Structure 1
Amino acid sequence: MKKNGLSTLRTLLILTAFLLVGMALAFYFRPQPVDQRIALGESLGGEFTLQTSEGTLKLSDLAGKAVVFYLGYTNCPDVCPTGLAVLSQAIHTLTPEEQAQVRGVFLSVDPERDSVDTLKEYAAFFHPNIIGATGSREEIDRVVKRYGAFYRIGEETDSASGYAVDHSSRLYLINQKGILVSTLMHSSSPADVAEGLKSILNQG
């Protein structure tokens, strides 16, 4: 009986040790916020090639501008309109000279439903400095991976919109040299976004 008790205790200790090791590994390898990954020197962001109603758009085409990159889709019921409205309000608080140095890029991850003409009209509704863009599935996936973002196409539904798309809701702030310098949460205020843009402009 005594031997059985020791055996049970030993088994429990081994299981506990495995559990603790597993928790430690899960903590160590957990996904890190984009800003932390940038701070650690991880290479995120960089050049992209997308399609607009005006033709091909590369990030390098916007060299010298502060760029705010945001991804979503036009059928998004709330997150995308809110994020773009915040960006629009932030740009409006800048001086005319500052506004001329800022561009927004709204990437649709739903090219099957979002044509480049639709995106032009949709983005311009929020602010003329916001560019609506999309691309092939390969181009989109390349940009999404490069920026540490994500999206997932949902199942078809009986609703008028057909299906929903889960996606990242961060605002990605890129400086005049095309370097991703920080991100802002979807819940950020227009003042937060404007402050981030001014910081980039003042350093440029």
Structure 2
Amino acid sequence: MQRVIRVLVVLVVLGLGALWGAAWFGREPNEPLGASFQRQFAALTGRGDAAAPVPAGGIRLPAGMNMGGAFAMRDQDGRAVTQDSFGGTLLVGYFGYSFCPDVCPTELATIANAFDLLTPEEAARATPLFVSVDPERDTPEQLKGYVANFHPRMVGLTGTPEQVAAMAKQFRVFYAKVQRPEMSEYLMDHSSFVYLIGADGRVRALLRPQSSAEDIAAAIRAQLPRA
């Protein structure tokens, strides 16, 4: 009997530890850890919102975890941009940099192909978005020529290092400068996900790297705002 009790105690401790870990990683900006724990517990016990279906190629976010939010950047024309600047369209976002040698152009080309699979009416209710994590080199002028290579409606965002860091933190984007001795120019190491972002700036779905154009198009359709 004592052995059973010990096992149950260990399981409870491990479960609480996992829940506190989820609360830590899933808390909102400036949200107390205790409040995040309560949200996680509510979602676990069925008192939170029901989990949304995960699209093909998508990632299920931890229960109660919110990503994204309000942001302030500049677009490829140098205009100040926030989450309210896109007319309520669904944002199909990717974080990278224009000097990226391979991954970024591949992912952006796939996003552009996904838009080609949508009907004109569907495509009009979504906006392809490229967010730079390299503000040192990715000026508005640099981004303007870069995003035009992929889709005529693609918007490029950049900003001050502080603005970029703030947006990356909200969307839980990893990035870091990498300087190799044999190279004259630095690279940027960064995470590589496709974000479907609602009008409030919150992430509605997260798609894995190398998702197909078909999967991205299907995920866009599932998240499109009502006409």
What range describes the TM-score normalised by the shorter chain of this pair? 0.7 to 0.9
| Aligned residue among 101, 110, 114 for 1:77 | 101
Larger helix percent: 1
Give the match for residue 9 of structure 1: none
Q: Which residue identity is paired with 2:67? A: L
Find out whether 1:180 has 2:191 as its counterpart: no
Q: What residue in structure 1 maps to residue 138 of structure 2?
A: 114
Q: Deviations over 1:136-173 (max 9, x none)?
A: 1110111111011110111254435x111110100010
Supply the distance in 1 between the matched residues of 2:125 and 2:174 (Cα, whole angstroms). 28
Is 1:123 the counterpart of 2:136? The answer is: no
For 1:17, the equivalent position in structure 2 comes to none
Q: How does 1:39-188 map to 2 (within 5 A)?
A: 40-54=63-77, 55-160=79-184, 162-188=185-211
On the 8 A contact 2:76/2:155 being kept in 1, the answer is no
- Residue 197 (str. 1) matches residue 220 (str. 2): yes
For 2:72, give the aligned amino acid: T
Superposed CA deviations along residues 150-198 of structure 1, whole A, max 9, x for unmatched, are 10111254435x1111101000101244331111011100001000111
For the aligned residues, what is the CA RMSD?
2.4
Q: Contact 1:157–1:163 at 8 Å: present in 2 too?
A: no
Q: Give structure 2 stretches of 5+ with no counterpart.
A: 1-9, 27-57
Aligned-pair distance for 1:202?
6.0
Q: Deviations over 1:107-139 (max 9, x none)?
A: 111111111111011111100121111111110
Task: Count how many residue pairs are aligned between Structure 1 and Structure 2.
Answer: 179
Structure 2 contact 100–187 (Cα < 8 Å) conserved: yes
Does 1:36 find its partner at 2:61? yes
Summarize the Cα distance change of 1:97–1:52 in structure 2 as closer, same or farther, 3 Å threshold: same
Identity within the alignment, %: 35
Aligned to 1:12: none
CA contact (8 A) 1:63 1:178 kept: no
Task: Read off the aligned partner of 1:80 and give its amino acid letter.
Answer: C
Cα distance between partner residues in 2 of 1:138 and 1:45: 16
Which is higher, the Rg of structure 1 or of structure 2? 1
Question: Matched residue of 2:149: which SS?
Answer: helix
Structure 1: gaps (5+ residues): 1-19
For residues 166 and 59 of structure 1, what CA distance do their matches in structure 2 show? 25
